[in-house]
Amino acid sequence: MLIIFLGVLSQWIAWRLRLPAIVLMSIAGLLIGPIFGVISPEESFGDLFRPLVSLAVAIILFEGSLNLNFKEIRGFSKPVWRIVTFGALLAWAGGTLASHYVAGLSWAVSFVIGGLFIVTGPTVIMPLLRQAKLKARPAALLKWEGIIVDPFGALLALFAFQFVLFAEGDVTAAAFGLFFLAALFATVLGAAAGLGMGWMFERGQIPEFLKSPMVFGVVLLTFVISDIVMHETGLLAVTAMGMVMANMNITSINDMRHFKETMSILLISSVFMMLTASLSMEVLFEIFNWSIISFVLVMLFIVRPLSIWVSTIGTDLSWQEKALVGWIAPRGIVALTVSGYFASVLLDAGFEDAELLTALTFALVFSTVVAHGFSITWVGRKLGLASAEDPGIIIIGASRFTTAMAKALYDMDKNVLLVDDSWGRLQKARQIGIKTYVGNILSEHTEYEVDLTPYEKMIVASETDSFNALVVNNFVPEMGRINLFQTALHQGDPADFHSSLSGRILFTEDWNIHVLDEKEEQGYAIRSTKLTERFTYEEFNQRWSANTIPLFIETAQGNIEFFTSDKVLEPKQGDTIISFTGPERDSDRIQERLETKRIKKDSQTKE
């Protein structure tokens, strides 16, 4: 209970304070484990500790590989493959040299641990990417490297271990050759499991309510079968399974991906807490050894940047992208779990210096998690690879009203994007200078063409209620229902339309997009009113008439908050109210000004 609760609590606090979640989870695990001794997961779970962690890692890696659609790297696949192949081998060589000459490990142990330390993985990369809001290309590079290199690093360490035993004469050449057959078997098994699942999904062989549980079970089965054949090949099998399913264009893949993402967040939180809480104080004190500190610094500032820059020579990556990818390489759960396995087998094989592996691994994991977790957003913005703008607003559906509202936001220097599948309807917005995109927001093509990272809120205001609801439900997992707005329904009774199928209704339930467009045509205009000490919100309310509707407010801090049917806003002094006002208000204002002038003139005449 404590592990799960504190893991999720760390994620929530990180979201509220905009801090790296992985750092808070590490700190929480250290506090309840070695520092205060509240729990010891390894003792509590006993023999189940390692298997539970391994199965959790398998699910996390599968969920990550479900996002590896080859269409995402169309146009820059060359640097991706160079980084995960040649770059990984360079990192292996660099890690081996650093382990031997800096950390003082034997060549045999250095050879094994150098292969393992190339891993980054979805357990640490995904939380950082959610936090940093990087542009699509560098985010894709880091994601693909993390997911593909995760099993590759474990396999390299396993290959190095088998090679060391072969060189020592402990295994034969035939037994050493079985490693390659086992890796091939894992790949084929994973691909076959993915193809089988996809085939059954597309032909309706599995009902909707069983799809996620069935995949969940098959992932674990595939992992375990492969791991029984040869230890640490299970990660390769589940990665192959996820990549195959991601590229089969399965119609229900998104629903399943959302379920797996929820599972992986829960598992990442729990597993990271378990691993850090299981460390001992002796390991923590050992981390402050100068040889270990020097090793971490060499890995951070020499090995990683050098491997990325050399491996990407001749690609179209900019120096900014090389610098960012060369800096960001946090190690995570796979490094911690697999290093524990290799520490034990190397010690059993007679390599006494392997007892340093746990301290060395945790030092690298914690240092990279903290350094990269706190710096990724800042570095991304400095290099121009992350959104430096304030969180923006994307509006779906171009009409007279939405164009006017987009212009109001644009005039306030807000980051706004107007999307519609008609070039003509976007013409006026283009002339004004508003960012536009021609296309269907739900199409797969749009998913890879439009970078939604800079946009925090979405307004769906097309003329079709069902399309609006479809868009809202599609973006709930990414943006959250609280940030999704839609105009009021214009067909049927709103009470008959289930609230879970729609976004938050903008303004009131009487003002649908058709009514708003008609009002704009009749001369309604968007105007702003700043609240002051003398002109309060109460006074503004008193002057409201039937032909005025408040749209949103810009707070004194510059944030945008929309008026909705489910929330009553209370603007304060310094806030600016943006309202949709009829032409009658113009005549009222003119009359007020004329009356004020007349009164002033009369008073001057009397004097």
Stretch (H or E) spanning 550: strand 548-554
Beta carbons of 548 and 581 less than 8 angstroms apart: yes
User: pTM of the entire structure?
Assistant: 0.70
Structure tokens at 37: 């001794």
Centroid of chain to Cα 14? 13
Nearest to 329 by CA among 296, 378, 289, 288: 296
Amino acid at 582: G
Q: What's the alpha-carbon Rg for the chain, to the nearest Å? A: 29
Helix, strand, coil share of the chain (percent; to 5): 65, 10, 25
pLDDT at 97: 94
Euclidean distance between CA atoms 565 and 580, whole angstroms: 16
Q: Using alpha carbons only, what angle is made at residue 203 by residues 198 and 209, rounded to the nearest 5 degrees?
A: 75
- What residue has token string 């081998």? 89
Residue 595 phi, psi (nearest 5) = -65, -40
Burial class (CB in 10 A: 0-12, 13-18, 19+), 69: middle
Dihedral sign of CA atoms 66, 72, 78, 82 in order: negative
pLDDT at 25: 84
pLDDT at 220: 93
Amino acid at 367: S
Q: Give the three-class secondary structure for 278.
A: coil
Domains of the chain: 2-382 (1.20.1530.20), 392-597 (3.40.50.720)
- What residue has token string 């700043």? 530
Spans of the chain, pLDDT less than 70 = 72, 121-123, 130, 169-172, 176, 251-261, 387-390, 444-445, 447-448, 490-502, 543-546, 584-607
Amino acid at 96: T
Euclidean distance between CA atoms 449 and 446, whole angstroms: 5
Euclidean distance between CA atoms 382 and 386, whole angstroms: 8
For residue 530, what are the β-bridge partners? 576
